[in-house]
């Protein structure tokens, strides 16, 4: 176990997949977890699953593209707990359409959720972390931020932006003892991947030197390490967790 006892962590996109597993792992290691989701129903469903395991978790569903909503929610959380130690920006959407089929509205939506939402969350949380003179900000990137993908240009473009924000914010916030890192997952067994047929999965596995698709827990554990004091001298890093699939 890594001791995160009494650390307050906010996880956006915390209602399913990697985000939900990260919430479980952080709870199991003593953190006080607050999950953000897109809708009241999905937040309540995730809270039901987390609390049945005996964890005490809170949930909110602010519009991540609306800075004022985020600021109001974070103010409430800070007033309740007196601290915000860790922010995990995990909310995101993907894309796979060819560029001729992608509308500007769809492109804007990807950039809003994958980039602007992180900007808003960081902008809102930094004053609290500066007041504490400590904090950890972690972002979800992707292996496609390293080498792109054959269609759905908005997704890798947004994740390239996440990498740039991560590295730049790490330099800007280091004097305030705030570390900023990102995790770049490879092919992970989320709901979408789990629904693929064996005929589609097997060729994917052959491209991964470690010979398996990643589990959500693999990403959650990477976040756990980077959030902990074990990573106290690590900032500005994009940690690739992909079984060497990028090589």
The tens digit of pLDDT for each residue in 38-47 reads 999 999 999 9
Inter-residue contact 91 to 113 (CB < 8 Å): yes
Give Cα separations from 7 to 32, 51, 207 (angstroms). Answer: 6, 18, 38
Range in 59-63, 69-73, 126-130, 149-153 the model is least confident about: 149-153
Told to judge if 61 belongs to the known catalytic residues of this protein, a careful annotator would answer no
**Residue with more model confidence, 64 or 56:** 64
Inter-residue contact 124 to 69 (CB < 8 Å): no
Domain extents in the chain: 8-241
Angle, vertex CA 51, rays to CA 45 and CA 54, nearest 5:
160
Give the pLDDT confidence score for residue 31 in this predicted structure: 97
The rounded Cα 187 to chain-centroid distance in angstroms is 15
pLDDT tens for 190-247 read: 876 777 678 878 888 898 999 999 999 999 999 999 999 999 999 999 999 999 986 5
Inter-residue contact 28 to 54 (CB < 8 Å): no
Confidence of residue 75 (pLDDT cuts 50, 70, 90): very high
Q: Tell me yes or no: is domain 8-241 CATH 3.40.50.720.
A: yes
Q: Could you say which of 78, 81, 155, 233 is catalytic?
A: 155
Report percent pLDDT > 90 for the chain: 85
Tell me the CB-side half-sphere exposure of residue 180, using CA atoms within 13 A: 25
Give the pLDDT confidence score for residue 247 in this predicted structure: 54
- State pTM to two decimals: 0.96
């Amino acid at each position: 176990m890594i001791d995160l006892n009494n650390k307050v962590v906010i996880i956006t996109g915390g209602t399913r997949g990697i985000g939900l597993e990260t919430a479980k792992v952080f709870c199991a290691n003593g953190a006080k977890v607050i999950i953000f989701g897109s809708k009241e129903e999905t937040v309540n469903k995730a809270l039901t699953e987390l609390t049945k395991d005996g964890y005490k978790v809170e949930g909110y569903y602010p519009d991540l593209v609306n800075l004022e909503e985020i600021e109001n929610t974070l103010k409430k959380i800070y007033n309740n707990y007196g601290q915000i130690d860790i922010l995990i920006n995990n909310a995101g959407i993907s894309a796979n359409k060819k560029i001729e089929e992608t509308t500007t509205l769809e492109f804007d939506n990807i950039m809003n959720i994958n980039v602007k939402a992180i900007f808003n969350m960081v902008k809102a949380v930094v004053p609290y972390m500066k007041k504490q003179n400590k904090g950890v900000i972690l972002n979800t990137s992707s292996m496609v931020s390293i080498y792109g993908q054959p269609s759905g240009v908005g997704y890798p473009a947004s994740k390239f932006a996440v990498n740039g924000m991560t590295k730049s914010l790490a330099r800007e916030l280091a004097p305030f003892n705030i570390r900023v890192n990102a995790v770049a997952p490879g092919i992970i067994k989320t709901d979408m991947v789990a629904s693929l047929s064996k005929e589609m999965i097997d060729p994917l596995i052959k491209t991964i030197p470690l010979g398996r698709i990643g589990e959500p827990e693999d990403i959650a554990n990477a976040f756990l390490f980077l959030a902990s004091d074990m990573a106290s001298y690590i900032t500005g890093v994009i940690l690739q967790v992909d079984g060497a699939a990028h090589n």
